[in-house]
Every structure is written in C-alpha cells, then in structure tokens.
A and B are shown apart, each in its own frame.
Chain A
Amino acid sequence: MQVRKSLERKGKRMATRTIKVGALARVEGEGGMLVKIKGDKVHEVQLNIYEPPRFFEAFLRGRSYSEPPDITARICGICPVAYQMSACNAIEDAFGVKVTPVIRDLRRLLYCGEWIQSHVLHIYMLHAPDFLGYESSVHLAADFPDIVNRGLQLKKVGNEIMELVGGRAVHPINVRLGGFYKAPSKAQMLKLKERLEWALVAAKETIDWVAGFNFPDFEHNYEYVAMRHPDTYAIHEGRLVSDAGLNIAEKDYETIFEEQHVAHSNALHSVIKTRGNYFVGPQARYSLNFDKLSPLAQDYALRSGLGKTCKNPFKSILVRAVETLYAVEEAIRIIGAYEEPEKAFVDVTPNAGTGYGWSEAPRGMLYHRYTFDDAGIIQDCTIIPPTSQNQKSIEGDLHHFVSDRLDLPKEDLQWQCEQAIRNYDPCISCATHFLKLELEHL
C-alpha cells in the first residue's frame, strides 16, 4: 500500500495517474502486467516477463539423454509431471522407444494426480475467493472452514497419487525414460482407490459449489489449441488440433508455430505463423474434446451450466472442476484395471537424432524438442510452456476487458483485472519470477 501511495503521488507530479497494486499473490510465481489507459481508451497492455525460461535449455546442453525428466521437473513446483512426461515423450521419440500399455496407464495415472493437485489448488485457494468476495482463501476459510478443508483433502488425494506412482508428491523421483524405476503393487493401488471413491464425491460437490458462482459476462474468441486422442480425453498422448482446423503431429509444431521476441518482455511470445495468437489450457482442451470426457463428467458439465464449448475465461474455474472430476474417474478406472508389471520400464538405447514431445500440463500444452549426438548427449533443446503460449492472448483479453470497464472506480477495475489474470492460472514460475499489475492512466 505504501508503494501504491508513493506512485500515486509520483503520478500527480508527472501529470499522469498511476495505479500500482502489489504482487498478485494468488498467481503462481510473479511477473508484471501493465495496462496503460489514455482518455477513454486502453492504450496498451503488456505482460512483462523479467526472466526468460531459457536457463534450463542452456543448462541441458551437453548433458546426458537421461537427465531432462528430472532436471526439467524442477522448472515448476506445480506441474513437474508435465515436464517429465513431455521430456520422456520427446526423448523416446528420438530413440524410437514404445512403452507398454501398463506403463502408459501408470503415466496417465501420475498425470491425473497432477491435474487433481493443480486444479484443486487453483479452484479453492487461488480463484474461488474472487467470486465470493473474499480477499483470499484464508479469509474464506475463516467463514467456511469445511469447504476449504474439502479442497485441502481433495488436493491431498492428488498428492497421494503422485507419492505412490511418482515416489513423492513434489518433483517425482520414480519417473525414468521408458517408464518407472519401480511399479506400485496391486495392494497399494487398491488402497488408493478407497481414497479416490471419496474424491469422486468431493469432485462432484466441487462442481455444484462452483456452478453457483456469478460469472462476469465476457467472452473471447481466440483459436483454441489442444491435444486430441481418438480414444480418450488427451492428457499425455495425441495430436495437436484447433478449432480452426489445425491437426498436426509433434514434429510439425515448429513449422506451424513460432516464438517471437517482443520489446517489453524477455520471454518469447508463441504464435501460429499464419494466424497469430492462440490459446491453450483447460478451456481449449474441454472445448475441443468434450466428446471424449466420460459420460459422468459430460453430465456434470452440462448441468453446471457449461455448454459443449466454453469461451468465457471466467468459467475456466468450472472447466477445471469438471476436469478434476474426470481425472478422479480416470484414476479409479486405471487402478481397477491395474496388474503389476514384471518390469516397470522398457530399455532405452540412445542414438543421434531429434525427438519431439508434448503433453497437456494443467495449464495447457507443453512442448519439448531435443537433439542428440551418437552418445545421447544433448546438442540442443527447446521447451515451450503453456503460459508463454498464452501470453499474447492474455494481453488481448485484458485489453478488451478493461475497454468495457473504464467507467469503474479504479479500485474496482484493479480488482477485476487481477481476477481476469487469475482466470488463466498463469504459471509464471515456468516463465518468469515476480508478477505485479499496474494500471496507468496517461
């Protein structure tokens, strides 16, 4: 608050009016968002990224093919599995590795754990307070401890999946190329199933709870991009499709998409070369794959008020709740069919070449590419996280959002902008460090 008052005083001296709010505590990581307003029009919106995500790409060059799953998992404390799975997919692609069906299912189960953990964190702790008029989940917990405790328990079920399959809840250590170091026993899995049966009820209650929120009337119309699989709701395998007709394999990603430098940010903006910005994440996944959700998830989605597509970013919280229900169901299905494999991994032999991989992180598609020499030493790599892909669209959304609300008192506008940014659950820690929001009236 002191900073804000200081800047307001500074703004008067400069014949401008500047509003600065503190760090957006409920956005993972921190970065900067600047909105410049001139007269009755939004002049400029900039999502500022202070740190490039390129440290890890440089760090990996010269290292062994076996290291990226563990190293890239450290990029983000919220979605380590996404980094591990995209890395495994890309490296196994380079070496022609095909995993067994049981390893495929274990990977999907681990990923379900991460989706549950990440989505529930965002729904209960970061986003729901916005809709209920609370400053934070701490304030929400004071009035509704049972609801927040339900969120904590549901998140814990995601942690428990990650502990069992991944070895621990944060930065799983059981993942290796070709599969896992050790597969869980059938008995361990069945014990987890009891917890998931409770989680199924809690996930349904979560949808019913969130469906009762009031959602601002706002829609965007960006090209949605997400993975799609012929047999299932795509999580860790599939092609990349869009609602504008895109349908490509991993190796074609960089011929269709490109990263661009922008003056106000150290990070790169990802665009479709021929069409510009696009959008990845839960809403894109849901809108492109509604038919692949389970009947139960479809039923709950429709009765919650969602259509078969969702273009209102404020309803992303509802989509996350539906995906949480699906992830719990999917985990139960996988555990029910599980038989402990004799071997938890397939052998991997390196060769020279380039591999491409992607998977659906909680916040959207995460792309990895690696090039190796004969000994499997990394010569080059590229990692494109979902928040980098969405940066340009987030700026566009905020531009339109603020334009329609310029008559609001600045405190209200500031609050609504913060809420709008949280719609995208930006995992800034993947791409940057600290996030602040500034509204500047020129």
Chain B
Amino acid sequence: MRAIIGLGNAFRGDDAVGLFVAEQLEGLSSAELTVLCHEGEPLDLLELWLGFDEVTLIDASRLGIQEGTLMTYDLLAQDFKATAQDASSHAFSLTNALKLGKTLDRFPAKLWLYTIEGSSFQLGSELSLSVKESAQTLIRILSQYESQSTKASL
C-alpha cells in the first residue's frame, strides 16, 4: 500500500504547492495508492501514514535557494537538520514531526519527501510561475513512478 500526501496551506501562496500536486494526482488513486491532502499540523502524519508501506510527502520549502527548485529526499537516510525546513506556519514543524517519527520508530518502510522552493507565502497569493512549472514536472515524475509501480505489481 502506497500513499502520496500533499502538505501545505491552501491560502498561503507557494505553501499550497504540495496540495496542488496531490489534487492533480487524485486520478491515480487505486486499491494500492491513496492520495491525500493534509492542511493540518504535521504531527498528525505519524497517524496518517499508518498502514502504508511507502509514503511520498510533497511540501513547499524555503531554503533560500532558487524559486521553483525541486528536491528529493529519502527520509530514511536523511539527517533532517540538513534538509526539510518547512516554510509554512504549521504547529509542529515537518522536520520535528519527522524526527519524532524516526525516534519513536513510526516510519513506513519507504518514506520520500519532494520539496519545491517557494518565494511567496503571503495570504491570498497564487502559486509562483516557476513553482507551478516545477509542480507539473513533479506530477509527471510521480505519475510515471506510479505507472511503473502498478505494472510491477501486476
């Protein structure tokens, strides 16, 4: 069982990119794949991903790099201090939620994080152009991956 979970705040510009990608991928939902949007605080992820073997998270980043930069992390192999800085106003940061999940052994067998660097997080703003372009790239990547995974399981 796999899950794709888009994270973010729908009203905060580029912070919505994870939700945007997940919404675009909803058509891929099947008995093997669940696509979710999660707008709440990230700590709930530790419950949300229970029962899934492979989970892909999508969130906006604010690392101070070029807007629209798409990055991938294998979270089982990551030092979180060096990676996933969350850009939104979540209660318990995604980084801390991931650290806590790892400490308490609450990780799925495979856990990926895709981030797209945002630049505008103001209330009411739209996705930036380059962020939207990167989102389309990510949608293609994940669609291809799901297509291959489905074939492999047949």
Contacts and interface: CB of A to CB of B under 8 A. Distances in A.
Contact of A149 (B90, B104, B124): B104
B130 interface: no
Interface string B89-130: 111110010011001100000000000000001111000000
A29 B40 CA distance: 12
A142 interface: yes
Interface string A177-190: 00000000000000
A438 interface: no
Contacts of B93: 25
A227 B43 CA distance: 30
Contact of B9 (A77, A78, A149): A77
A30 interface: yes
A357 to B, nearest CB: 22
B46 A152 contact: yes
Interface stretch (A302-310, A327-335, A383-391, A426-434): A426-434
A56 B89 CA distance: 16
B103 A145 contact: yes
Interface string A56-99: 10010000000000000010011000000000000000000000
A141 B104 contact: yes
A51 B46 contact: no
B79 interface: no
Nearest to B93: A25
A74 B39 contact: yes
A31 B141 CA distance: 36
Contacts of A393: none
A77 B38 CA distance: 10
A77 B91 contact: yes
Interface in A133-170: 136-138, 141-142, 145, 148-149, 152, 155-156, 159, 169-170
Given A55-B123, A149-B104, A156-B47, A138 B89 contact: no
B70 interface: no
A228 interface: no
Interface string B122-152: 1110000000000000000000000000000
A126 interface: yes
A137 B11 contact: no
A156 B40 CA distance: 13
A121 B39 contact: no
A171 interface: yes
Contacts of B23: none
- Report which residue of A51, A77, A136, A152 has the largest number of chain B beta carbons within 10 angstroms of its beta carbon: A77
Contacts of A156: 47
Interface residues of A, number: 34
Contact of A148 (B39, B104, B123, B124): B104
A125 B47 CA distance: 15
A77 B104 contact: no
B96 A169 contact: no
B10 interface: yes
Given A74-B11, A137-B96, A434-B89, A121 B43 contact: yes
Given A51-B123, A74-B10, A125-B43, A428 B104 contact: no
B54 interface: no
B103 A169 contact: no
B87 to A, nearest CB: 10
A51 B41 contact: no
Interface string A199-224: 00000000000000000000000000
B93 to A, nearest CB: 6
Contacts of B103: 138, 141-142, 145
A181 to B, nearest CB: 19
Interface in B26-56: 38-41, 43-44, 46-47
Given A55-B123, A74-B39, A433-B89, A138 B96 contact: yes
Given A51-B123, A74-B11, A125 B92 contact: yes
30 contacts: A25-B96, A28-B91, A29-B91, A51-B123, A55-B11, A55-B124, A74-B9, A74-B10, A74-B11, A78-B40, A121-B41, A125-B43, A125-B92, A126-B92, A137-B100, A138-B99, A141-B103, A141-B104, A145-B104, A152-B43, A152-B104, A159-B47, A169-B44, A170-B38, A170-B39, A171-B39, A171-B40, A429-B90, A429-B91, A433-B121
Enumerate the 7 nearest inter-chain pairs by beta-carbon distance, A residue then B residue, closest first: A170-B40, A429-B89, A29-B89, A55-B123, A28-B91, A77-B40, A138-B99
